[in-house]
Structure 1
């Protein structure tokens, strides 16, 4: 979220993007072997699945797979220590929720749009950027604090990507190049995923009173809907939209903005901050329902990630985690020193989640039980507006 303080020793770390590119190229070779099909001996729902050819993702650090790293300088160790065994552009010790979604659909991990080294975009692209907000930065007095790659910028990047990739696809004869680019028909059949809004609330908590921050929510929702409508006008048809998580349970806020006794819930989270998130989620769900009625050729799935994350935090011990409001990285004040056992923690660095937590959350999202309508990820294209209640 507040990412600038994380970027240190940039000039000596730029070669990391080459490693990221190599990983993506390697995973692409696996993709070509299976010819884009899902791995049928692993996943359920194959007979009725939507067979998405690609994922286009928009969001913040919860799903950034390398945009900020490519734009402003690579992350440094110990990020990526658990799965990639080196920094991978992700604010975590390993994979993110979007990575597990890609695995579920049989894809290699999504390349960040801004990562030009060794990238393959046949299976989609990721426009999410750490620190970004729904609203333009100056709307929340975030100048020089949060990421300028806000949702409207991500939309602009997608539109440029779509036009330029189609131009190149039609102009070149090399099959090697074509195989790395989306086909025209892929855009209307792709899955469009969103996880954004947490930074808008984060900024509201820091820069203004909570009641004042709440007055900005309708504008946030309107901005979000405008992006979705423009994607629809461009041919997008299947949308998987996360609400925002329990920001009042993020260790950063619990520790740095500790609640008064009457503003603390039964597990120690800040009630008023979670209340702000719940109000955002209510308005978002109402808007998604409206969009489902207005854009009748589209399929919308509203995903209650708030409930899933809160369930994990409130029942951490039951699910094999410890210290649910603690963190692995920097717990002794040294931001470069991780704990010895990241898999036992929910929070990686006080704001972002560990790979173990992301995996648990992804498993409890992609089955559809936390969604409206209750359809799994693999069947999102079959969602109907009448069941978006």
Structure 2
């Protein structure tokens, strides 16, 4: 849980849960954050004396400590309601499970780190405008981190240590980090929401945010844009294709004498190099020609962020090139939304291939995001290539694409092709 006095939780006394106070706080939260009202009222409160403060599970139950409610002002409780439901809306439990599998993170300490990172994602712009910041709420500035990042990015920026000792009490429940708690009622317990009901709640909240975006923060607007257009098989396929390309034998591998090969013992007088894996480098070529619309370019930037996650969050290993018939500049990846996509003319992505392959160090994987209206290189690049094809629009600017009978060449056989949309 991200709010409440730091330090050891105050033991619960014999008093019963003050539901009137708890529900008054929820009503206040719905009034100051009306776009979250559907989610707030979908949460079912469960009294629990095992919970330090308030916590949620992935089935949309909110476990509440009677002692915590008794000692916390209504305004602070409203902030806690918003915070806890934010974990569920942003699928922090599912994302934590995926990160744990991908990065090999195990144990309660790593789950605590995920909880802290998830809190930073929520709390950087959650409060103000009528919503009080609860005592002890963890924000990025608490750890000296930048605002506006995602849980996965924050997770790569800090480790547990002396600067996090005061956060050992933090526990937002399994709905925040995916690790089951002793108080959880489980999938078969009462008052849990089904997967379909949870998706319906997210959809309603996303609808409310996109209908009146001026009332929501930038973080919530970005979330709603993705939630309103939920992940489709093509996104999973593209991510799988990139992960496969960067993990296949040959990608990011090189011989080194820094650690001789074991077989050197069988060749007296000679030192043989060993084959070592180095972090794979990815160059992303984004088609910015006139035939690619703003929606496709926006989707391309989302895919760049996903590609960064596919290489373990190492943004220094990802370079982005915008290309129509030329490549003005290659951008090292800092933040996807900060990349200027320059173009608007005709299409010839061969210039992008040439630029990417001349970079030092060489990329191990090329990812091309395009509508396919381009000539392709005549020879296979010396690295693995993944092509994401956007839906083809009628609008075009080159003379070939203005021809209604024009049929662009299919991507070459040496590329792994994923159709987007």
Q: Report the TM-score range of the alignment, normalised by the length of the smaller protein.
A: under 0.3
TM-score (norm 2): 0.24
Q: State the TM-score, normalized to the length of structure 1.
A: 0.25
- The structure that is strand-richer by fraction is 2
Which of these two proteins has the greater Rg computed from alpha carbons? Answer: 2
